[in-house]
């Protein structure tokens, strides 16, 4: 029988081999965690499914607060160390959003350069101009025939009535600006709001506060041109990135038809097409 000293010596001799084997296994695991493209694997389909669910929850939370879903936010709050797997996780979340919620993430258009200084800066770095906003919002994928108030009702937060009034207000403002050529002076916008008694018909807050909220959420852009001659600053209102996505020309056309109702003129459809740049309808369709 080997003595205790012999056993200890034998164990000491085996220790480098055990450490070496553990090191080799660790290196193998690290190597297997990278795919051919150098993307880091998440260790299994279960981990990927969890990240997809996490991205879906993040997208819904952003939309509830009406803030854009940013790529940087996805990498920081959802992916963490798995940032190289962005495409597979994003595609998986898109599929789940479409199948379960009837929505999908759509990229916001790049914010337009409004002021002269912004345009000059954009021209100076034209070769490096941004082609992607790297921000998304959720839009519905439900077929148009099912987009009715009975199916897509206003959110209950803070209340269905207040949400409906808010959506109606910004849809009206965006429509007016769009039909005015894409921009509207502050004086003219105030005139329209006075005609609709906005100060009395907006129960959620004062008109100025609601407009400021629309700017924060990306529905409107407030462009302020500073005067160099001691005169008043020029304020112009334009449609923001979210506003262009949520209230496109087709939606504005629907608002116009709803306002006219049964008393619409015979050439209304042609006027709508010219004003919004939509496809010209057939003569029969315009007379319907």
Extents of the domains making up the chain: 43-121+132-141, 158-247
Tokens of 124: 């100076």
Residues of the chain whose pLDDT is less than 50?
Answer: 1-2, 4-12, 15-22, 24-41, 283-288
CATH architecture for the domain at 158-247? Orthogonal Bundle (1.10)
- Supply the mean pLDDT for the chain: 81
Give the pLDDT of residue 211: 95
CATH code of the domain occupying 43-121+132-141: 1.10.10.1200
| DSSP, res 182 | S
Give the pLDDT of residue 121: 64
Q: What is the pTM of this model?
A: 0.76
The count of other CB atoms within 10 Å of the CB of residue 137 is 23
What gap in Å lies between CA 152 and CA 146, rounded to an integer? 8
Q: Which of 144, 133, 138, 147 is nearest to 106 (CA)?
A: 138
Question: Cis peptide before 131, with omega less than 30 degrees from 0?
Answer: no
List, for residues 109-146, the tens digit of each pLDDT value: 998 776 666 666 666 655 555 678 899 999 999 998 89
Give the pLDDT of residue 153: 84
Give the pLDDT of residue 155: 85
Tokens of 147: 């987009």
Give the pLDDT of residue 282: 58
Give the pLDDT of residue 39: 42
Give the pLDDT of residue 137: 97
Q: Comparing 43-121+132-141 with 158-247, is the CATH topology the same?
A: yes
Give the pLDDT of residue 128: 55
């Amino acid at each position: 029988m080997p003595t205790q000293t012999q056993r200890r010596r034998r164990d000491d001799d085996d220790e480098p081999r055990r450490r070496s084997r553990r090191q080799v296994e660790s290196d193998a695991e690290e190597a297997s965690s990278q795919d051919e493209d150098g993307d880091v694997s998440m260790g299994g389909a279960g981990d990927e499914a969890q990240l997809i669910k996490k991205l879906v929850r993040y997208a819904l939370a952003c939309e509830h607060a009406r803030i854009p879903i940013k790529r940087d936010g996805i990498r920081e709050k959802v992916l963490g160390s798995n940032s190289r797997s962005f495409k597979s996780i994003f595609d998986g979340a898109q599929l789940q959003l479409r199948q379960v919620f009837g929505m999908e993430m759509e990229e916001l258009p790049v914010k337009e350069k409004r002021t002269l200084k912004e345009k000059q800066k954009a021209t100076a770095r034209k070769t490096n101009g941004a082609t992607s906003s790297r921000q998304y919002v959720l839009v519905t994928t439900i077929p148009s025939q099912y987009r009715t108030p009975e199916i897509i009702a206003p959110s209950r937060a803070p209340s269905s009535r207040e949400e409906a009034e808010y959506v109606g207000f910004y849809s009206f403002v965006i429509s007016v600006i769009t039909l005015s050529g894409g921009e509207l002076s502050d004086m003219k916008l105030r005139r329209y709001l006075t005609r609709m008694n906005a100060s009395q018909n907006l129960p959620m807050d004062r008109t100025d506060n609601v407009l400021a909220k629309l700017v924060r959420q990306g529905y409107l852009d407030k462009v302020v041109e500073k005067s160099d001659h001691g005169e008043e600053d020029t304020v112009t209102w334009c449609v923001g990135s979210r506003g262009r996505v949520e209230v496109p020309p087709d939606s504005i056309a629907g608002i116009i038809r709803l306002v006219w109702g049964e008393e619409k003129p015979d050439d209304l459809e042609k006027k709508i097409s010219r004003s919004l740049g939509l496809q010209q309808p057939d003569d029969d369709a315009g007379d319907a």
